[in-house]
Structure 1
Amino acid sequence: MWHQQELRLAPRSRGFHLITDEVTAAVTELRNVSVGLLHLQLLHTSASLTLNENADPDVRHDLDAFLRERIPGDLPYFRHTLEGPDDMPAHVCASLLGTQLTLAVRDGRLALGTWQGIWLGEHRDHGGVRRLIATLQGE
């Protein structure tokens, strides 16, 4: 079985946001898969997807603080600055973290570890609506 759909994520503030429940609620076909894979592809170059801590929001804060300190918007060698000082750092963060995840599906649910959740990394101050392609394969 193959299923593909596009998800639209509401605009979010800069930082990391737990989106696991939003993804699983939207991809209702998950419940019909006993074994399979869910591939998520973010259709943007200034945001990211990653799998990380789902319980303590301090982890999301700390990773954002870490990246902001190491990839500030005022680096003198950045040439891509027409879209604002947050754009090039956003591209760097997206490249480092990635824009795709492939997750195991078992018995109608994502097979995540106890403390794992899907994060959207919004690396722009005003990133806007973000789109994901969700591709489900399984039986």
Structure 2
Amino acid sequence: MSGADRLVEAALQARQKAYAPYSNFLVGAAVESVNGDIAVGANMENACYRLGVCAEQSALAAAAQAFGLGKVARIAVVGGPRGDDTGGGGPITPCGGCRQAIAEAAQQAGCDTEILCCDAAGEDRLTTTIRQLLPAAFTLD
């Protein structure tokens, strides 16, 4: 299994633990460190929509605790409607807020973080970078 496949598989497993009773759209994310360690997260909704947490934010918080944002190398994101484990809906990409969070982690890591955007099955993939997804990100500078 390639490193990318291993990362996508971790995101798929995280997706199974998503809590999305309102949108029924399950998302899992996995963050890989430069050393190959992986931290995962899933979306977690709340009746007060503003209090929900995206999978990418959840995974980045876990990564910050596990190995630090300065060691983030790449991220895999998988998602789709509840009950769709076969894919075919096209790859999903991070929302604007998550793109900004990834951009800040990339700045800490000093790299253009690779992002594997996938469908619910992890098969339909778009490989991109945070600079491609958010070319005019806010920075710490």
* TM-score normalised by the chain length of structure 1: 0.29
Higher strand share: 1
* TM-score normalised by the chain length of structure 2: 0.29
Higher helix share: 2
Higher-Rg structure is 1
Which structure carries more relative contact order (alpha carbon 8 Å, separation 6+)? 1
